[in-house]
Amino acid sequence: MPDLDPVIHAQARLRITATLATLEVDDTIAFPRLQELLDMTAGNLSTHLRKLEEADYVAVSKSHQGRMPVTYLALTKRGRRAFEDYTDALRDLLGQAP
């Protein structure tokens, strides 16, 4: 029985990772837009993003929009692979063909 990656296998982080996985490989998303799409509080989102960043699943880049600093986020190559492996493991557990 395959084990489920504990970094992804928690409700909030699963939602975040699944959302970031819908972006094209080179695209990044601004923190406020991600927050809006997920309908999460900024604090809760930050906490879970930090855990994903610590696991090297999410890359954070800073940019400026006029004078406002904006944080952009994306899955790293490692994060994308981990999400695919996680999805495969889930399907495996449920007896579905990947």
Partner 1 sequence: MAAAATSAHSGSEHSDGEHSDGDERLDPAAALALLTKQQLSITTQRGSFVSVITAVWGVVWLIGFLVLWLVDAMRPEFSIPLPIAIGVFAALMVIGIGVSAVVGVRGSRGIKSGPNAAFTGTAYGLSWWLGIIGIPVLGGGLQSNGMSADLANIYYPAAYLFFVGVMFFAAGTIWRAIPAMVTGVWMVAIAIIGSYFGHPDNLLFYAITGGGGFLVLAVWDAARNRRIRRATSATAASGA
34 or 58: CB nearest partner 1: 34
26 binds partner 1 (CB under 8 A): yes
For residues 8 and 75, the answer to whether their CB atoms sit within 8 Å is no
CA torsion sign for 57, 62, 65, 70 is positive
42 binds partner 1 (CB under 8 A): no
Please give the Cα distance from 5 to 1 (Å, whole number): 13
Binding site for partner 1 (CB under 8 A): 3-7, 9-15, 18-19, 21-30, 32-34, 36-41, 44, 47-48, 63, 72, 87, 90-91, 93-94
